[in-house]
Amino acid sequence: MDFFIQLLINGISIGFLYGLSAMGFVMIFKSSSVLNFAHGEILAFGAFLFLALVTWAQLPIWLGFLVTLAGSFVLGFVIERIFLRPLIGELLIYVIMLTVGLAAMFKGGMLLVWGGNLYTYPDFLPEGLGINWGIVQVPPVYVAAVIIGSLFLLMFGLFFKFSSQGIYMRSVADNQTAALSLGVHVRRVFALSWAIAAMVAGISGIVLGIINGITVHELSSVGLKVFPVVILGGLDSIGGAIIGGLIIGLLETFTGGYLSPSLRDVVPYIALVFILLVKPYGLFGLAEIERV
Amino acid sequence: MENNKLLVINNISVIYSDVIQVLKGVSLSVEPGQVVSLLGSNGAGKTTTLKAISGLLKPENGEVTEGSVLFDGKPIHNHSPETITRAGIIQVLEGRQPFKYLTIEENLRVGTATRWGKPYRQDLDKVYHYFPALTKRRKTLAGYCSGGEMQMLVIGRALMAHPKLLLLDEPSLGLAPLIVREIFQIIERINREDGTTIVLVEQNANMALQIATYGYVMENGKIVMEGRAEELRENPDVKEFYLGMGAAGTAKSYRDVKAYKRRKRWL
């Protein structure tokens, strides 16, 4: 029984992080219909940036965290500005291929600097953060993952629901021409969604790095894991991305725990196939509103 | 004389994708506070004229290749929609395009994009005052509203931007006659109470000429006739081809369609 609860808690915390990184992916897809294949690499970059800041530059943890957030934000902005803006109006497939290229470039760059080795962050989470209730023992990392994950999800949820800028971003996703006719700065919205997506990816990169350690290959493969998550949740639903993340996270840890660790990366895809058979829009995809 | 004009279009040509010429030397002018209507059959170039003003040609690969568009005396042709909307020109697109997955109130808030960060409460109240029907449904997703409500919504959304010049593209399209009348009354009130200048593109020439002060008739990418609205209403050609009256001024019957011999004089 305690093994089950342990797995459940691990699954939920990992799931939150998948949900968080999927949210960034969904945001780019919603505003500009681009599938970002470099998402995992941006996530890994966040983790390594944080590593560099706290070990080489010896910044305090909180400052390192904030600088990583800012750095990822700027990275997303710069990627959009330099690589994607010239392709606005071109066929979508070119843009998607561009992100595949970006992924290779980033991965190569990071391997060049850090190599394929496993790094770990210095131990900075206070021991008191962990939960110890007899049979239920949750290590501090997982508690931190859930707190950070839900905090940022809540923040972005409020941002999109209530802030003007968030509403402009949703309007572009909904009907680009109409948004343009009202003077919404569509290019700025694209840039902002890349920046926010990169920032969110950076956050999940750091936390996944704390849990599993930091390697280029491991972290950038999370980018692929985002696909079953978002397709499960429905490509265009941010709430769905979170639920999808939780489902995939739980599936993974339970398969790893009860069946075999080598199956854990496959089972999410198998589940995906069956769920799509039943619900082709994903669990929370928008069914097109059709009125005639 | 041109100084007191809000909008002046000088002899513009518009070409799509470098090959398809849609407008061939269109000129028109709009004075502040006027309602100017632009009539014409399908494909005459009315919508393209509006898009040439609002800058929305560019996303469709269209371009003003000759002539100029002056707003408040400054050239704005081929500028981006972002700058043109901020100068005070807002176009309401044809065919009611609300943001389907946003609520009515969120839709209206998108209208504040040109003046992001400024207070907008009063403007919301003003829109609800013009369109009381929207008040009850402010939390409803726009995609589930009726056609009339959607048309009110997209006009209201444009008002949120405080336009100096409002371009309306076929507000009557596909709506029941009673709703059309209601919407035209509101357009007239917007013009009267806010002093907003309006350019109105319509197929429903009858309605359009009732609220307009001046009108232009377009055919094949050219302006073929212009005049004060009362004059146009009395013009025998306009009567026959756009108002559905027989040559003698009586209502035309479909039985006579075969006897249609009279040519439009300007072709």
Burial code of A12-32, b = ≥16 C-beta within 10 A, e = fewer?
A: bbbbbbbbbbbbbbbbbbbbb
Q: How confident is the model at residue A6 (pLDDT cuts 50, 70, 90)?
A: confident
Q: How confident is the model at residue B237 (pLDDT cuts 50, 70, 90)?
A: confident
Q: How high is the mean pLDDT of chain A?
A: 87
Residue of B91, B100, B110 with shortest CB distance to A167: B110
Taking CB atoms and an 8 Å limit, are B97 and A291 in contact across chains? no
Answer yes or no: are the C-beta atoms of B155 and B168 closer than 8 Å.
Answer: yes
Query: In residues, how long is chain A?
Result: 292
Q: What percent of chain B is modeled with pLDDT above 90? A: 74
* CB neighbour class for A239 (10 Å; exposed up to 12, middle 13-18, buried from 19): middle
Give the mean model confidence (pLDDT) for residues B13-28.
Answer: 93
Maximal C-alpha separation, chain B: 61
pLDDT value at A83 more than 80: yes
Give the mean model confidence (pLDDT) for residues A258-282: 83
* pLDDT mean over B38-59: 91
Task: Give mean pLDDT, residues A191-198.
Answer: 94
Domain map of chain A by residue range?
2-226
Res. B262: pLDDT tops 70? no
The verdict on a CB contact (< 8 Å) between B100 and A174 is yes
> Cα separation of A259 and B107, whole Å?
50
* Residue B40 pLDDT > 50: yes
Q: CB–CB of B134/B124 below 8 Å?
A: no
Q: Are B198 and B188 in contact (CB under 8 A)?
A: no
pLDDT in tens, A134-169: 777 788 888 888 888 888 888 888 898 899 999 999
Give the model's confidence band at B254: pLDDT under 50 very low, under 70 low, under 90 confident, else very high.
low
Question: What is the per-residue pLDDT for B68?
Answer: 94
Confidence at B150, pLDDT banded by 50, 70, 90 = very high
Name the DSSP letter for residue B67.
Answer: E
**CA A99, CA A84: separation in Å to the nearest integer?**
9
Integer Cα distance of A160 and A190 in angstroms: 15
Q: List residues of chain A with CB under 8 Å from any CB of chain B.
A: 89, 164-165, 167-168, 170-171, 174-186, 286, 289, 291
* DSSP secondary structure, B7-49, as one string: EEEEEEEEEETTTEEEEEEEEEEE-TT-EEEEEE-TTSSHHHH
Is the CB of residue B87 less than 8 Å away from at least one CB of chain A? no
pLDDT at B241 (0 to 100): 79
- Check residue B263 and give its pLDDT: 59
Q: How do beta strands B7-16 and B62-71 pair?
A: antiparallel
- Facing residue for A175 by CB, picked from B97, B111, B114: B97
Pairing of strands B222-228, B74-75: unpaired
State whether the Cα torsion B96-B5-B70-B119 is positive or negative: negative
A-proximal residues of B, 150-179, CB under 8 Å: 154, 157-158, 161
Q: Give the number of other Cβ atoms within 10 Å of residue A209's Cβ.
A: 23
Q: Per-residue pLDDT averaged across A272-278, rounded?
A: 83
The token pair that represents B150 in the structure block: 């959607």
Query: pLDDT per residue over B51-90, tens digit each?
Result: 999 999 988 889 999 999 999 999 999 999 999 999 999 9
A190 compared with A129, residue with greater pLDDT:
A190
Q: Could you give the CA distance from residue A181 to residue B154 in angstroms, rounded to a whole number?
A: 11
**pLDDT per residue over B174-220, tens digit each?**
899 999 999 999 999 999 999 999 999 998 888 899 999 999 999 99
- For chain A, say whether B80 makes contact (Cβ under 8 Å): no
Confidence of residue A129 (pLDDT cuts 50, 70, 90): confident
Least confident of A27-41, A123-137, A196-210, B133-147: A123-137
Q: Which CATH superfamily does the domain covering B2-234 fall into?
A: P-loop containing nucleotide triphosphate hydrolases (3.40.50.300)
A131's enclosing H/E stretch is: strand A131-133
Averaged pLDDT for residues B88-101: 93
pLDDT of residue B267: 55
What pLDDT, on the 0 to 100 scale, is given for residue B88?
Answer: 95
Expressed in angstroms, the distance from the first to the final Cα of chain B is 31
Q: How many CB atoms lie within 10 A of CB B17?
A: 9
Which residue, among A180, A235, A281, would best test binding to B if mutated, counting the most B CBs under 10 Å from its CB? Answer: A180
Higher pLDDT among residues B250 and B105, named by residue? B105
Q: Name the token pair of B35.
A: 């309602």
Domain residue ranges of chain B, discontinuous segments joined by +: 2-234
Token pair 């309605």 is found at: B207
Chain B CA closest to residue A174? B99
Burial per residue of A123-153, b for 16 or more beta-carbon CB atoms within 10 angstroms, e otherwise? eeeeeeeeeeeeeeebbbbbbbbbebbeebb
Would you give the DSSP letter of residue B88? T
pLDDT at B1: 45
**Neighbour count for residue B106 (Cβ, 10 Å):** 22
Dihedral (Cα; A70, A75, A81, A86), 10-degree rounding: -160
Highest mean pLDDT among A22-26, A92-96, A98-102, A227-231: A98-102
Contact yes or no for B144 and A289 at CB 8 A: yes
R_g (Cα) of chain A, nearest Å: 19
Q: Which of A89, A164, A180 is opposite residue B81, by nearest beta carbon?
A: A180
